[in-house]
Structure 1
């Protein structure tokens, strides 16, 4: 079975002269998916982008984290583990190679999962180890993704 995804990318950085010069245009664009809110984006601030807007690296790391979260919640529900809160502060590590080409070399997900009192924390942690077999995003990237979960037991 296959799935199809669509998006519309619209460059918004033309200041009136287009790409007449390297510094003559902004590195901004909108992501528009039918029926969803538009996301205003920019290049990485290191490359002249607007630090107030999401950049491709932010989006990739966020997608990786969100995919992990959704699978975690699914498997927790199946296992009878009641999750009452979930947040993550993932970190992606990138490198710039000779010639200026960049890439991610690793990512660490740091989910903070709140569970009900009496939860088997070993079983709750074991779920994290299964997810990369199924997460669409994690299975699609070519760099290692690890996780360092923290559990909070709800009183």
Structure 2
């Protein structure tokens, strides 16, 4: 078992504290030492120049899939030259009528040092998804559409 931390820090910066006007900006300090400027998504009156929880969620799924995929490739001795993913997430009402990240689509594009057939690539992505601990931790529908 491993332990991971994130410290979220927010302080009121406005004289009032009304829904339409309070400042959503905050920071997230990770156990690694990285600090990220964060806010709510613009839809929820946040700062579009800062990371928001929805994008962070999509990024966590994409990153975990990539890292699991790279581990599989390395164990198979298939050299990966580059990996890119333009993932998207959908915030929608779930079965209970509450807002949730209901779907995340990963669109990985992998460039190998040598040719890898489509069946092998598909199996690697399926194995990566089945072993990605972030994907295993959420109820969101995660779809993989390799490019």
State TM-score, norm by structure 1. 0.85
For structure 1, the 5+ residue unaligned runs are 151-155
* Native 8 Å contact 1:76 1:124 kept in 2: no
Structure 1 residues 34-56: Cα deviation after superposition (integer angstroms, max 9, x where no partner)? 44221000101011000111100
Describe the shift of the 1:18–1:136 C-alpha distance in structure 2 as closer, same or farther (beyond 3 A). Answer: farther
3-state SS of the aligned residue for 2:91?
strand
| SS of equivalent residue, structure 2 residue 137 | coil
- Residue equivalent to 2:48: 51
1:71-116: CA deviation from partner (whole Å, max 9, x where unpaired): 000001111211100010011111147xx94111111100010112
Identify the match of residue 86 of structure 2 among 86, 89, 96.
89
Which residue of structure 1 lines up, in the alignment, with residue 2 of structure 2?
3
Post-superposition shift, 1:123? 1.1
Q: How large is the RMSD of aligned CA atoms in angstroms?
A: 2.1
Q: Where does the alignment leave 5 or more consecutive residues of structure 2 unmatched?
A: none
Q: Which protein shows a greater Rg?
A: 1
Give the 4+ runs in structure 1 shifted more than 4 A.
Answer: none
Change in Cα spacing, 1:148 to 1:41, as seen in structure 2 (3 Å) is: same
Deviation for aligned residue 1:30: 0.3
Provide the rounded CA distance (Å) in 1 between the counterparts of 2:107 and 2:113: 19
Name the structure 2 match of 1:120. Answer: 117
CA distance in structure 1 between the partners assigned to 2:115 and 2:88 by the alignment? 30
The corresponding residue for 1:139 is: 136
**1:74 and 2:71 are equivalent in the alignment:** yes
Distance of 1:114 and 1:126 partners within structure 2:
16
CA contact (8 A) 2:60 2:134 kept: yes
CA distance in 2, matches of 1:65, 1:35: 19
TM-score (norm 2): 0.89
What SS is found at the alignment partner of 2:74? helix
